[in-house]
A and B are shown apart, each in its own frame.
Chain A
Amino acid sequence: MSDNATSPAVTVVAKTEAPIRTFTFRFSGDGGEFFKIWIVNLLLTVVTLGIYSAWATVRTSQYFYGHTKLDETGFQYLANPLSILIGRVIAVAIFGLVMLAASFQPMLYGVLMVLAIPAVPWLMVRAMRFNLRNTAYRNVRFDFVGTYGEAAKVFLLYYLGVILSLGLAGPWWLLQTKKFFINNVRYGDHAFDCSCPTKEFYILALITLGAIIPVLLVTVLLGWIPVIGQIVIFLAYLSIFALWQSWVRNMLFNHTRLAGDVQLSSNVTMFDLAMLYAMNALLVVVTLGIALPWVMVRTAKFYAERTAVQAANLDRFTASQNQVAGSAIGDEVAGVFALEVGI
Chain B
Amino acid sequence: MIQGYYFPHGSSRRLLASITVDDRGFLRLHDEQGALLADGRWQQLQISPRLGSTPRFLDFADGSRFETSDNDAVDGLQQCWRQERGYHLLHRLESHWRLALASVVVVAVVSWWFLTIALPYAASQVAFVLPASALDRSAELSLSVMERIALKPSTLDEARQQQLQGLLVRLLPQSPAYNYRLLLRDGGAFGANAFALPDGTIVMTDQLVALADDDRQLSAVLAHEIGHVEARHSLRQVLQGSVIMVIAAVMAGDATAFGDLVGGVPTAVMDASYSRDFEREADRYALTLLASQGVDSEHFAVLLERLAASHDQADDTDVNYFSSHPPTAERVAAARAF
B-binding residues in A (CB < 8 A):
28-30, 33-37, 39-40, 42-43, 46-47, 50, 53, 56-57, 59-60, 62-63, 66-67, 73-74, 76, 88, 91-92, 95-96, 99-100, 103-107, 137-140, 188, 280-281, 284, 289-290, 292, 295-296, 299, 314-320, 332, 335-338
Contact = CB atoms under 8 A, between A and B. Distances in A.
Contacts of B97: 36
Contact of A40 (B9, B100, B137, B257): B100
B258 interface: yes
Contacts of A290: 104
Interface in B252-289: 252-255, 257-259, 261-263
Contact of A299 (B64, B110, B257): B257
B13 interface: yes
23 contacts: A29-B52, A37-B51, A46-B111, A53-B250, A60-B254, A62-B51, A74-B55, A92-B246, A95-B246, A96-B243, A99-B241, A103-B238, A138-B12, A139-B9, A139-B12, A140-B11, A284-B258, A289-B262, A296-B257, A316-B11, A338-B253, A338-B259, A338-B263
Given A315-B14, A320-B10, A292 B52 contact: no
B189 interface: no
Interface residues of B, number: 59
Contacts of B5: 73
B94 A37 contact: yes
Given A47-B110, A56-B254, A290-B104, A33 B52 contact: yes
A192 to B, nearest CB: 15
Given A73-B14, A96-B246, A318-B10, A104 B137 contact: yes
A33 B103 contact: no
A66 B56 CA distance: 8
Chain B binding site: helix, strand, loop or mixed by DSSP?
A: helix
A92 B7 contact: no
B90 interface: yes
Contacts of A315: 11-14
B107 interface: yes
Contacts of B100: 35-36, 39-40
Contacts of B246: 92, 95-96, 99, 336
B253 A336 contact: yes
A30 B53 contact: yes
A29 B48 CA distance: 17
| Top-4 shortest CB links A-B | A335-B253, A66-B54, A139-B7, A138-B12
Contacts, number: 164
A64 B114 CA distance: 30
Given A104-B135, A337-B249, A57 B254 contact: yes
Given A105-B138, A316-B13, 19 more contacts: A34-B52, A35-B100, A36-B94, A39-B104, A43-B103, A53-B250, A63-B54, A73-B5, A74-B54, A95-B249, A96-B242, A138-B12, A140-B11, A140-B12, A188-B11, A314-B12, A316-B12, A320-B10, A332-B253
Contacts of B141: 106
Contacts of A57: 254
Contacts of B12: 137-140, 188, 314-319
A180 to B, nearest CB: 20
B250 A88 contact: yes
Contacts of A317: 11-12
B242 A36 contact: no
Interface string B28-61: 0000000000000000000010011111010000
A63 B51 contact: yes
Contacts of A29: 52-54
Interface in B76-95: 90, 93-95
B63 to A, nearest CB: 8
A40 B10 contact: no
Contacts of B11: 139-140, 188, 315-319
Nearest to B244: A99
Contacts of B53: 28-30, 33, 67
A115 to B, nearest CB: 19
B96 interface: yes
A338 B14 contact: no
B106 interface: yes
A319 B11 CA distance: 5
B311 interface: no
A62 B54 contact: yes
Which of the listed residues A47, A137, A139, A315 has the most CB atoms from chain B within 10 Å of its own CB?
A139
A214 to B, nearest CB: 26
Contact of A39 (B7, B10, B107, B110): B107
B57 A338 contact: no
B258 A292 contact: yes
Contact of B242 (A99, A335, A338): A99
Contacts of B261: 281, 284
B73 interface: no
Interface string B220-264: 000000000000000000100111011101101111011101110
